[in-house]
Structure 1
């Protein structure tokens, strides 16, 4: 009977531990060769991106999916073009500064952060053009012209302090600064990325 109780408690502990871990984004990103990148994604980039510098290819593995990213510099801006496992476009992100966000939108984002964290620091701010029902060439055109459209999102990586200490969060807001979703993430392991 005692053995059964111990096994039951151990199983319950593992189950709770697994549930707790599934709430986090365990993201690992590593650089890969162009030949390891999905062929369809390479074709999409070749058809839609010209006059760029410093393109690098990455494979990103997190707790929910595998994706591929091409990071490049174009017109003095840093872009990240994300594809799914099959090479289909997921989104295009541009690294921006708070001054690039409309004032009303940024005010709403800051209000959300002030209400939900004792302290916080925005680590990264990206403007996101996601793959909606628009044709791929139009999504690329909109992103490379850096247009402020009603369907864009803002993705923030935030170190935020709550009662139990600091954690890193990935928070998504719509074009008006309305909260969309949040994921707790572990700091990415960048010690193996080639530069």
Structure 2
């Protein structure tokens, strides 16, 4: 096979793979939020976050719908921070997030976020930014060890960042090179690299923030 033809095939194969990978990276997020009473919230979940609820202000309870499933969520102001705690429908803990402004993020993360949006979109507006605190996952003797809900909450309350995985969730309105406008949720890793992109399909007008 001639070198030119060989490289052409390799290039086309790479291009097809890259295009397909990009298409797979864009998911969908159906967003609908319904306010509920505390009595409708899973009792084990309320018991788990009792230390937060005791000191929380303007606490609200929600059921979040996403395609064929739903989650429970608490939003409150705890130690002057606007936090949200999300649970699976069985009451097990999913994640904890704190609402922030872009200026409150580490400078290096701000830089990486700007370096991502500026070349990829003609225009963009960062509507909502949250620091996401995820439970630690590590391998012990070849087996995956994951902190249980109690350990996870304790590490968050103590702000034990060595045992928490930090990510940055950003909801943004963007305009691409074809002047198409869209709403997306971007998840950035601890070092500022994009890990996940979801197109927001439906945004409830009556979503309550804090």
**Would you say same fold, with TM above 0.5?**
yes
1:165 to 180, 191, 199: 180
- Whichever structure has more strand as a proportion of its residues is 2
Give the match's secondary structure for 1:90: strand
TM-score by length of 1: 0.79
Separation of aligned partners in 2, 1:194 and 1:130: 21
TM-score by length of 2: 0.74
Any conservation in 2 of the 1:93–1:129 contact (CA below 8 Å)?
yes
Unmatched segments (≥5 aa) in structure 1: 1-21
Separation of aligned partners in 2, 1:178 and 1:78: 24
Q: Which residue is equivalent to 1:16?
A: none
Separation of aligned partners in 1, 2:151 and 2:172: 30
Q: Which residue is equivalent to 2:165?
A: 151
Write out aligned runs for 1:33-72 (5 A).
Answer: 33-46=37-50, 49-72=53-76
Any conservation in 1 of the 2:92–2:149 contact (CA below 8 Å)?
no
Q: What's the RMSD between the two structures over aligned residues?
A: 2.5
Any conservation in 2 of the 1:173–1:180 contact (CA below 8 Å)?
yes
Separation of aligned partners in 1, 2:205 and 2:152: 29
Can you list the C-alpha shifts for 1:102-155, whole angstroms capped at 9, x where unaligned?
111111111111122110000000000123423434433443455655721000
| More displaced 10-residue stretch of structure 1: 132-141 or 160-169 | 132-141
Aligned length: 174
Mapped pair 1:139 → 2:152: yes
